[in-house]
Amino acid sequence: MSKLNIDQKTVIELFSDKRSDFLIPDYQRPYAWNESECQTLWDDLFAFAIPDNNIERFNDDSDEYYLGPIVTFENRQGKQEVIDGQQRLTTLLLLLRAFYERSFNQEDQQTKKMREMIEQCIWKTNAFKEANKNALKIDSEVATDEDKDEFLEILKSGQANDNYKSRYAENYRFFEKKIDAFLSNYPSYFRYLPVRILNNCILLPIEADNQDSALQIFSTLNDRGKPLSDADIFKAQCYKHYAAMGLKDVFIERWKRLEEFASSTFKESVDGSPMDELFTRYMYYLRARQHNTNTSTEGLRKFYERNNYALLKKEQTLERIEALADFWSDVRTQNKERFSDKILRRLFVLSYAPNGMWTYLTSVYFLHHRQPDGLLEEVPFFQFLEQITAFIWACTLNNLNVSGLRKPAFLKMVQIIRGEEVTFSDFSFKREDFIRVFRNYQFSNQRQITKSMLAWWAFQFDKQELLDLGCDLHTEHIYARKRAEKEPSATIQPKLELLGNKSLLEQCINIRASDYHFADKAALYEGRQTGKGKTSKGKNGTRIYELLEMADQQTDFTEDDIVLRNERILNGFIDYLDRCGLLKG
């Protein structure tokens, strides 16, 4: 059984210990705290150490403030390898170094004593407790952190040069400003704040007797303000696996590239990091290979941790994940060397999907059907994208949420692995029932499916050019709501929110066009001036082809036009579902 040494310590007790020689290992993530976390730390420490702005209200003998755990194990070099708590540890050292540097403004005996205490925390000392300022008590080998040298240099010199742009430097300068303001407002209190941090702030060092034990603890704890992602756990497991094969440096470089691809391709979310999203998409591929169609999906970490993370240690795992990252990066950048314009247009429409199920289906399809050069055959891939677009849109209109999509989607993922053609004809809809649902559906702007339908419709026009994925498209009411208020009609109000009255439109044009009559809207669509002194002069027009066509061919857009266009969209979508085999009867 593994042994754990757990004994809460004050900051000074932990950092000044002769055994405290910390190493942030290369498999750790880069330093991530920013000003927000530093502000919170400063506010909390200040409120604790100087309650109600009064040093007399603090009890040196009993008041304590808990800062959190530090998980380490002693490696072969005798260093305390930090598995969890590096963000907290690093920030505390930056704060103490800033106090130390500013302490030279005061030379009373108590301040000098405080300075000696900080020296014992930052630098190694001799038998007389004299600091060797060339020997820090912390080192960083984080492979993916290009700024770690700035951190070490700041601790050595106490200076964050103007050319230092790292988060270490930004946070150190933040603390310098806070301390300067503190000195200005409470000059006689200066020494009390750092001393109370050193003597009364508590850390919980958890020292495991080996790396495996430390990693188990690492998998259950969170850094203050920066929860450990599942991918952090996977990184540590993969690191151990590749290091055992003598491929540590190769792994670090490959993982760093993966993190760069993921962070630029996927968004951070409350549910996980960009790397978590990449591993989630790969998980659905593995589930399909296991012929797993269970609609109750387990958590990401639980899925991978089975059999001591055996799935992560398979020879082909890292290569597949790299290929998947490359694929989605090329989707994001609309890489025309990988995808034809026809495919990119369909992928653009799918970027407006009402949920993310299409990304999991597409990930499974790509990994199974990719050719040796990493590309996909265009015709079957296009047909696949058409199928999933039609099905997801139709399911959403029938009020099926993501949970309702899981059963058919998971079945199709397994069919992909079996090499079968993907169709959803076995989940088709009755024609008349679907038409009734479509006609009665409330396409409010708050529903994502409204934009989904408008994106699909925009690209039903062959002359619609490919749009950038980053463009900010809003929902335009072609017949303006303000116009309806100024020209009251008993019949117009119910028609305003029909799809027939809506289109995607660039935000900058939508804001200016929102209240205008159609003649003025048409001018804005085409990028023309709308009248005397109007601010639209020199502005670019829209790239939505249908709106340009309407501006060129129509002088007005009426209630009848709304109804006619609504029928065209309805009939167009019904035909689309028909072509995809999704209607019966």
Query: Within this chain, do residues 324 and 344 fall inside the same structural domain, yes or no?
Result: yes
Query: Within this chain, do residues 89 and 202 fall inside the same structural domain, yes or no?
Result: yes
Amino acid found at 281 = R
* Domain end among 408, 423, 438: 423
Asked whether residue 123 is domain-assigned, the answer is yes
pLDDT given for residue 223 in this prediction:
42
Query: Within this chain, do residues 487 and 564 fall inside the same structural domain, yes or no?
Result: yes
- The burial of 475, by beta-carbon neighbours within 10 Å (0-12 exposed, 13-18 middle, 19 or more buried), is given as middle
Helix (H) or strand (E) holding 6: strand 4-6
Residue 473: domain span: 448-579
Query: Within this chain, do residues 236 and 384 fall inside the same structural domain, yes or no?
Result: yes
Asked whether residue 394 is domain-assigned, the answer is yes
Asked whether residue 294 is domain-assigned, the answer is yes
* Domain end among 423, 456, 490: 423
Helix (H) or strand (E) holding 23: strand 22-24
Asked whether residue 296 is domain-assigned, the answer is yes
Q: Provide the β-strand partners of residue 223.
A: 226
Contact 262, 325 (CB under 8 A): yes
pLDDT given for residue 401 in this prediction:
75
pLDDT given for residue 529 in this prediction:
62
Query: Within this chain, do residues 328 and 384 fall inside the same structural domain, yes or no?
Result: yes
- How many structural domains are present in the chain? 3
Helix (H) or strand (E) holding 242: helix 230-244
- C-alpha 122/C-alpha 356 separation (Å) is 48
Q: What is the 3-state secondary structure (H, E, C) of 163-219?
A: CCCCHHHHHHHHHHHHHHHHHHHCHHHCCHHHHHHHHHEEEEEEEECCHHHHHHHHC
Asked whether residue 371 is domain-assigned, the answer is yes
Query: Within this chain, do residues 267 and 400 fall inside the same structural domain, yes or no?
Result: yes
For the record, the structure tokens of 459 come out as 């690209």
- C-alpha 349/C-alpha 351 separation (Å) is 5
Query: Contacts for 422-427 with beta carbons within 8 Å, 24 or more apart?
Result: 422/365, 422/384, 422/387, 422/388, 423/387, 423/580, 423/581, 424/387, 424/390, 424/391, 424/580, 424/581, 424/582, 425/581, 425/582, 427/391, 427/582
pLDDT given for residue 268 in this prediction:
73
Q: What is the DSSP string of 368-399?
A: HH--TTS---HHHHHHHHHHHHHHHHHHHHTT
- Residue partners of 231: CB distance under 8 A and separation at least 6: 272, 273, 275, 276, 278, 279
- C-alpha 27/C-alpha 257 separation (Å) is 13
Query: Within this chain, do residues 261 and 359 fall inside the same structural domain, yes or no?
Result: yes
Asked whether residue 472 is domain-assigned, the answer is yes
Query: Within this chain, do residues 204 and 261 fall inside the same structural domain, yes or no?
Result: no
Strands 65-74 and 201-208: parallel
Query: Within this chain, do residues 176 and 295 fall inside the same structural domain, yes or no?
Result: no
Helix, coil or strand: residue 367 = helix
223 Rama class: left (phi>0) / alpha (psi -120 to 50) / beta: beta
pLDDT per residue of the chain (585 residues) written in tens, 0 to 9: 456 677 899 999 999 998 899 999 887 888 989 999 999 999 999 999 999 988 899 999 999 999 988 999 999 899 999 988 899 999 999 999 999 999 887 778 898 999 999 999 999 998 888 889 999 999 998 877 889 999 999 999 999 998 999 999 999 999 999 999 999 888 888 889 999 999 999 999 988 888 777 776 766 654 444 456 788 889 888 988 998 899 988 998 999 999 999 999 998 775 678 999 999 999 999 999 999 999 888 889 889 989 989 999 999 999 999 999 999 999 999 999 999 999 999 999 999 999 999 999 999 999 999 999 999 999 999 999 999 999 999 999 987 777 888 999 999 999 999 999 999 989 999 999 999 999 999 999 999 999 999 999 999 999 999 999 989 999 999 999 888 888 878 789 889 999 999 999 999 887 776 677 898 899 999 988 655 444 444 458 999 999 999 999 999 999 999 999 999 999 999 999 999 999 997
Asked whether residue 63 is domain-assigned, the answer is yes
- C-alpha 207/C-alpha 218 separation (Å) is 11
Query: Within this chain, do residues 361 and 263 fall inside the same structural domain, yes or no?
Result: yes
Query: Within this chain, do residues 124 and 29 fall inside the same structural domain, yes or no?
Result: yes
Query: Within this chain, do residues 202 and 260 fall inside the same structural domain, yes or no?
Result: no
Asked whether residue 246 is domain-assigned, the answer is yes
pLDDT given for residue 2 in this prediction:
57
* Domain end among 218, 251, 267: 218
